[in-house]
Chain A
Amino acid sequence: MTAPSLTRRHVLDLDDFSAGEILHILDTADAMKEVLAREVPRVPALRGRTVVTAFYEASTRTRVSFELAARALSADCVNLNVALSSTTKGESLLNTVRTLRALGADVIVMRHSQAGAPYLVARYLNICMINAGDGAHAHPTQALLDLYTMRERLGRVERLKVAIIGDIRHSRVARSNLWGLAALGAQVALCGPATLLPRGPELELLPTVALTTHLEEALEGAEVVMPLRLQLERQQSGLLPSLREYRELYQIDGARLARAHPRALVLHPGPMNEGVEISTEVAHGAQSAIESQVTNGVAVRMALLYLYGHGEVSDVRAP
């Protein structure tokens, strides 16, 4: 196994993480989970460090998860209220981040509606950048918490059969999971309506997966079943005839889950459209790990902040 390289500055996607580094993160998250189980879940590891959450796209869940992670490590956590900040006065992303850094931020946790925005910041500014989701591109912390939950519940990720179902084409969660699952040796099947699936040639630069529009095929023997959130606007933009038809063809309900492996685990990146991509009985059923994903998310984000949120900061402009 490759020795983990922990000298990285940024967590942009999982495409540049080795299996060793991912496992190291998951092991560290184990220790963090113990901290979270304490009566007072707080350790001084990041005392004096400042973590700024800059969410250019609303996501209370992910933001709160990061804030809890930062606080559990005793970091100062500041939320840049993008709606009220200078971004609405037309300040560029780079200038906003420059200002935050000048104000003492050590780590920027950024969510952005545009793919690649964290790469822009990472290219120009020498500050630890953790990508909390960029457009349809990547969501590495979600993928890590999915991997953590799979390992915790099923004991391994290697050789797991994982079915990801739904709007793959627009999904940053699916993309980052592909890299992480590939690194750890899982087998992935992607399934959804053809309008929401990448075409075959579009997967050339991504890890190898099976692609199908037939749910039964994807579920056959699957040990992890991950329905993705169906954005309701996909129907409005004509990619789906109706939510009803989507439900009929792709909803994970009890009967369909029964076609998967008997101990199959159900994950969902949230927030769920219960009754659309997942039935209520499955969402809250015995095989669902959706609630523990939330706790695991905090532990994984603590691990990332602990491992990467330290380095000294100086201004280096990329060539």
Chain B
Amino acid sequence: MAEKVIMTAAEMGRALSRLAHEVVERNGGAAGLVFLGMRTRGVPLAQRLAARIKDFEGVDIPVGALDIGLYRDDLSNLGVQPKVQRTDIPQDLFGKDIVLVDDVLYTGRSIRAAMDAIIDFGRPRTIQLLVLVDRGHRELPIRADYVGKNIPTSLQEEVQVRLEEVDGQDEAVLMRGEVKAP
């Protein structure tokens, strides 16, 4: 399968730094923020963003992990159930500004599931969405508040984000050749 690098490690680092600043700027500081990374790769991304904000703001932002397996609306079509892991919410979400962090934004269905999950834990003040890559093809009225990079794709392509913590290296690639329904 043909593979094209669309984001190098260096570009990813710069994008995350910019995103960290955007989040703080948009929220007028870091107080009241909670980062929820979507498993699997959203979690290390959220941790990296929190670390960067700690560097320039000196504030510890709580980071949690969200598994949306139990909230998906496509379970019965999959045949085999996706592995679910623990959801780990660091504190009461009531009145907080949640930044939901994911690697790739595509149809928007995972985000819909994630919002359902968050609301099960309490009523935050806002939910914002941060993604490293937005590849388009939304099926729901969902948009990201913070985007690392917009990559126009076709339905036959796949975007894969690889992270040091999970995959051993940082990069985002575009893969072709596999026909995949959204």
A and B touch in the complex (CB under 8 A): yes
A residues apposed to B, CB below 8 Å: 6-7, 24, 27-28, 30-35, 38, 40, 42-46, 73, 306-307, 310-312
Distance of A38 Cα from B89 Cα, bound (Å)? 10
Q: Which of B71-95 contact A (CB under 8 A)?
A: 71-72, 75-76, 79-81, 83-88
Interface residues on B, range: 20 to 34
Name the A residues within 8 Å of B72 (CB-CB): 45
Distance of A42 Cα from B120 Cα, bound (Å)? 8
- Identify 18 new A-B residue pairs, CB closer than 8 A, beyond the known A28-B84, A45-B69: A24-B83, A31-B69, A31-B70, A31-B84, A31-B87, A33-B86, A40-B120, A42-B120, A43-B70, A43-B71, A45-B71, A45-B72, A46-B75, A73-B70, A306-B81, A307-B81, A310-B75, A311-B79
Encoded as 1 (CB less than 8 Å from any A CB) or 0, chain B from 41 to 74 comes to 0000000000000000000000000010111100
**What's the nearest-Cβ distance from chain A to residue B181, in Å?**
18
For chain A, what secondary structure do more than half of its interface residues adopt (helix, strand, loop), or is it mixed? loop
Name the B residues within 8 Å of A38 (CB-CB): 120-121
Instruction: Tell whether B116 is near chain A: CB-to-CB under 8 Å.
Output: yes
A27-B85 CB under 8 A given contacts A44-B116, A45-B69: yes
Name the A residues within 8 Å of B83 (CB-CB): 24, 27-28
Q: Which of B70, B71, B117 has the most CB of A within 10 A?
A: B70
A43 touches B120 (CB 8 A): yes
Distance of A305 Cα from B72 Cα, bound (Å)? 15
Name the B residues within 8 Å of A44 (CB-CB): 70-71, 116
B70 touches A35 (CB 8 A): yes
Tell me which of A28, A33, A35, A310 contacts B76 (CB under 8 A). Answer: A310
A306-B84 CB under 8 A given contacts A7-B79, A43-B70, A45-B75: yes
Interchain residue pairs A-B with the least CB separation, the first 10: A43-B70, A45-B70, A31-B84, A34-B86, A31-B86, A307-B81, A6-B80, A310-B76, A31-B85, A28-B84
